[in-house]
Amino acid sequence: MMKQYVFAGFGGQGMLLIGKFLAMANMLDGKHVSWLPSYGPEMRGGTANCSVTISDEPVGSPLVDNADVLIAMNLPSLDKFEHTVKPGGLIVVNSSIIDRKVQRDDVRVVYCDAAKIADEVKNPKGANVAILGAMMGADEGSVSIDKMVEAIRIELGEKKARFLVGNKAALEAGIAAAQA
C-alpha cells in the first residue's frame, strides 16, 4: 500500500504543519513516510505546500506527481493541483475561501467550511486541523484519530501543549462534517 498526499495553501495557513501531523501519525502507526515541504521566499501570504507519502515499504522518492489526496486551502492551490490528482482520488476544498467547484468528475470531492468549523469549536486558528479532519473523515483507511491526536501532541511539543484540546476538537468536528 502506498498513498500520496498534497496539502497546499497560502503560507501561514498551516499546510506544512498538517503534513507533519499526517506523517508523524503514520510513523506512529508503523508506516514508512516522507514529508517534502515547498514554499516561496515570501513565506506568509505566499504559496506553501507539502507532499506526504505513506507506504508499507520504504519510500523511494518524496516527490508526488499524481496525488491520491489533495487538500486545497485557497483558489491558487486548487487551480495548480486539481489536475494532478489521480482518477478516483480525493480533493478536499476549503469552501471558506474557495468559491468555485472542482471541475473534474472522476474524483471524490469534499467541500469543507474549515473556518466555520474552527470558529464553532472556539479554535479560530484551527482551520487547517479542521480540514485535516475532513480529509480523515472522507479518506477510508486513514490513520486513527488516536494516532493523529498523539502526532499533534508530539509535533506541538511542550511549549504549545495548550493548543492540543482545541486542535482535537477541530479534528473531530472536521471528521464529523465530512461524514455528515
Mean pLDDT of 92-102: 97
User: Taking the CA of residue 147 as centre, how many other CA atoms within 13 Å lie in the half-sphere pointing to its CB?
Assistant: 16
**What share of the chain in percent tops pLDDT 90?**
85
Q: What's the order of all strands across the beta sheet hosting 32-39?
A: 32-39, 47-55, 2-10, 67-72, 85-94, 108-112
Per the CATH hierarchy, to which homologous superfamily does domain 2-179 belong?
A: Pyruvate-ferredoxin oxidoreductase, PFOR, domain III (3.40.920.10)
Residue 43 confidence class, pLDDT cut points 50, 70, 90: low
* pLDDT computed for residue 11 by the predictor: 87
Mean pLDDT of 80-107: 97
**pLDDT tens-digit map of 117-129:** 999 999 999 999 9
Q: What burial class does residue 109 get, using C-beta atoms within 10 Å of its C-beta: 0-12 exposed, 13-18 middle, 19+ buried?
A: middle
Q: DSSP character for 11?
A: B
**pLDDT tens-digit map of 137-156:** 998 778 999 999 999 999 99
Other CB atoms within 10 A of residue 157 CB? 8
CB burial readout 42-52, b (16+ within 10 A) else e? eeeeebbbbbb
Assigned C-alpha cell, 125:
486558528
Assigned C-alpha cell, 55:
507506504
Q: Is the pLDDT of residue 163 over 60?
A: yes
Assigned C-alpha cell, 174:
472536521
* pLDDT computed for residue 41 by the predictor: 66
Other CB atoms within 10 A of residue 12 CB? 13
Assigned C-alpha cell, 137:
473523515
* pLDDT computed for residue 44 by the predictor: 62
